[in-house]
Amino acid sequence: MGTGWSKPTRLPDTVNLVGQAIWKPCIAADGTIYFVSIEKGGKRLFSSPHKNGAYRQSQPLSLSDGTKVDVDPEIAPDGSFLVFCSAGRLAGDSKDHLFIVFREAEKWRAVVLIRYDGDDKNGYSTNDEPHLGPDHRTLYFSSDRVIPAHFPRSPEQAHLDFNRLDSLGWFSGYANVWSIPLSTWPNADDTGSPSGTK
């Protein structure tokens, strides 16, 4: 057995939908590939199961109907839940937000908005690019959220604030990497609110 990477091999047309752009693939332990493509004018989530050594025809996920902007799928290794980003699922809100959906047998349950401390209803942030950590229960993602400052500020606190502004754009409106535990979500409903940390 050699070392290093093999040459890239194009996956078959059962995965690569002909004439469509495909991006952000992720893969479950059983080989099923999940990805994003464009259909019905929106961005939609698809999957292609791997059975008997071959990829089956890609099909859109029932939870993603093409009328929203569903992107960045991240599947649990055992396929029991999927985290993704979506815009247009919340009335009057066009920002990207994190959602989670659980699977029972072959059916997906209801899609649930992931909320966390600091992302209150009056200050929704834009959240993208979810990735599961090695424990499969910690979610890492990018967000433009900031920690609110409480006033008055002492000179020492103000000095620390300015140092953070100079550090990689922190608190300056750029996306930073955050993490939240998913331990509260195995039987999630819309009341969950894990704490987010930078």
Instruction: Write the burial class of residue 41 (CB in 10 Å: 0-12 exposed, 13-18 middle, 19+ buried).
Output: exposed
* Domain residue limits at 59: 22-181
Q: Which residue has the tokens 């100079």?
A: 166
pLDDT score recorded for residue 17: 86
Within a domain: residue 193? no
If one counts the domains in the chain, the total is 1
Judge whether 88 and 76 are in contact, CB under 8 Å.
no
Within a domain: residue 95? yes
Please give the model's pTM, rounded to 2 decimal places. Answer: 0.79
Within a domain: residue 13? no
What is the arithmetic mean of pLDDT over 57-76?
A: 93
Q: How far apart are CA 178 and CA 148, in angstroms?
A: 15
Q: Which residue has the tokens 């752009």?
A: 21
**CB < 8 Å & 24+ apart, contacts of 21-29:** 24/71, 24/72, 24/73, 26/73, 26/74, 26/75, 27/75, 28/75, 28/76, 28/77, 28/78, 28/79, 29/77, 29/78, 29/79
Judge whether 61 and 76 are in contact, CB under 8 Å.
no
Within a domain: residue 16? no
Within a domain: residue 145? yes
> pLDDT tens across 98-109, in order?
999 999 888 999
Within a domain: residue 33? yes
Report the percent of the chain where pLDDT is more than 70: 79
> pLDDT tens across 141-195, in order?
988 776 666 778 788 887 777 776 666 554 555 578 888 898 766 544 333 344 4
Coil/strand/helix, residue 162: helix
